[in-house]
Amino acid sequence: MAEKKSKPVSVVTGGAGFLGSHLIDRLLSEGHRVIAIDNLVTGNPANIGHLAGNKDFHFVKHNVSNFIFLPNEKIDYVFHFASPASPIDYLELPIPTLKVGALGTHNTLGLAKDKKATFILASTSECYGDPLVHPQKEDYWGNVNPIGPRGVYDEAKRFAEAMTMAYHRYHKVDTRIVRIFNTYGPRMRLRDGRVVPAFIGQALSGKPLSVFGDGSQTRSFCYVADLIDGIFKLAMSDFHEPVNIGNPREMTIKQFAEEIIRITGARSTIDYKPLPVDDPQVRQPDISRAKKVLGWEPKVRFEEGIKKTIEYFRNALKGAGSN
């Protein structure tokens, strides 16, 4: 029993999600006990299915926008990763998105305060909105439309950052803020509306790839293992200001579509569609702070990461076809 007590205990909200489930794997590999909390609105139980029977893993089905009750647990870290995170989700779930950014952040910060735990907020590059500064550094305040359709996500995360810093300054909670840029890898949902699963799913199905606008808008794609490594290093640091974690390798959406067609060997064409409202024109992290403070930078090459991701979706499509 003594060994069990000595292990650090981490709570991960959104634990059945794409990033949450990968974070849990990393924490377990680092010797943590993990309590995952997820209401499964956008999370997928299959993402944590391989952890069934693991004595160091416990799952709680709960909406963190409601009070979190873990009375008898020693907790060392609270990772708040719960939120719809793709446009298709937060446009369908605007009010739950705002609630989990506001009430969910309040509840998880309260938990961290009560347990004297370190709090790690999963924020987003969307805090920068459609940026007027390129690449984006952490001291840029952003260019966000608060009443646009994307505002429910952008402003929820900006509020979450403000509340996190308020708890740090007023209640002396030990906090971290990670601003996550576009991330891809296994366990993404095939139809979550984001560009990586959309393009791969379309290419593997022999359909045209849907490019919004003329495809000149840019994104910077980070493989999930690299992202989780940066988040873990941030959690173990003592740095309280926001830190960008992402891959500065920038490409246009049109280039990305062409790469997916090439790597999958698909015969797909590109189908141009109208640009959504407030879609950011550029997105590229300045990771100087992560390099300096954490000694972190991405290591996985795009070709290597995208091949692993394509393989995951290929298997997922086969599984869906056999059901």
Q: Beta-carbon neighbour count of residue 219 at 10 Å?
A: 24
What is the Cα 253 distance to its own chain's centre?
Answer: 20
Token duo for residue 245: 């974690």
Query: Token match 């999963």: residue?
Result: 122
The three-point CA angle 308-313-317 to 5° equals: 150
8 A C-beta contact, residue 188 and residue 301: no
Asked if 128 is an active-site residue, the reply is no
**153, 167, 184, 223: the active-site residue:** 153
Query: Token match 């974690």: residue?
Result: 245
Q: Residue 303's closest CA among 315, 295, 311?
A: 311
Token duo for residue 160: 């979450």
Coil, helix or strand for 206? Answer: coil
8 A C-beta contact, residue 187 and residue 44: yes
Token duo for residue 67: 């009070």
Q: Residue 21's closest CA among 6, 1, 2, 40?
A: 40
- Cα-Cα-Cα-Cα dihedral of 211, 216, 217, 219, to 10°? 90
Token duo for residue 9: 């205990």
* Residues marked as catalytic: 153
